[in-house]
Structure 1
Amino acid sequence: MRRLFLAGALALSAATTSAATPDEIVADAALEARARALGRELRCMVCQNQSVEDSNSALAHDLRVLLRERLIGGDSDEAAMGYIAARYGDFVLLKPPIKTLTAFLWAGPLLFLLGALALFLRLLRREATVLAPLSAAEEARLTAMLDE
């Protein structure tokens, strides 16, 4: 029972920890909570599918520090995220906004699926048209072969 409790406590602590180092953490708890929440929306450019709060890379460290500096400077959440997105591009956001430049990224999977479905239906239709009915001579030969 004790091992189960320790395993659960370890899993819970691992799930709630951040890669932020003590020198990054802001003394104001509310500001730190804002920074962590916003950091979970930023993509680590090195790790690709990990937030900067979860990554140990040097670039993620720099983004965490930059985000906290902007928040300490008085930026709102939107202003801080906008500054980072303007500096690094929309790819730094884990949920990039739908714009003309990012519309294909959002629509890409759907377009791929529709294209694959169209190709599949075309192949099915081609397969159906390839099979022609048997001629009278072919039917007679097939009947003779089956009778043997």
Structure 2
Amino acid sequence: MGEVYRADDLRLGQQVALKLLPASLASDPQRLMQFHNEVRTARQVSHPNVCRVYDIGDLAVTDGTRQLFITMEYVDGEDLSSLLRRIGRLPEDKALDIARQICAGLSAAHTRGVIHRDLKPANIMLDSTGQVRLMDF
């Protein structure tokens, strides 16, 4: 859901992933409130295998609408979906390592009462060292 860009957060002094959310979300007060609650909950999860969410906000757009955005940890790597398309099957040891990291991240989230409602290869990032980060809770 939404487009993601690499950006510089001047307050944090670091690169972040800037996710622009669909305009339809801003026009539905109930969905917007639910989304804010989910982001607040996701921010409580701190684990090496979970992508950190930094902030949520909105800004005025020239046409008078509001653009919602999330800033989160920038992961310099590749999502699992792209990796599988590129190389095909993973070696067994690599697949097991990725599965263990996914389970560790999910366990940390579940301990905080957070459920990942969209777990799929495209929402699993691997950085250059092979560390997994779960995204888009």
TM-score by length of 1: 0.23
Q: Which has the higher contact order (CA 8 A, sep 6+)?
A: 2
Larger Rg: 1
The structure whose residues are more often helix, as a share, is 1
TM-score by length of 2: 0.24
The structure whose residues are more often strand, as a share, is 2
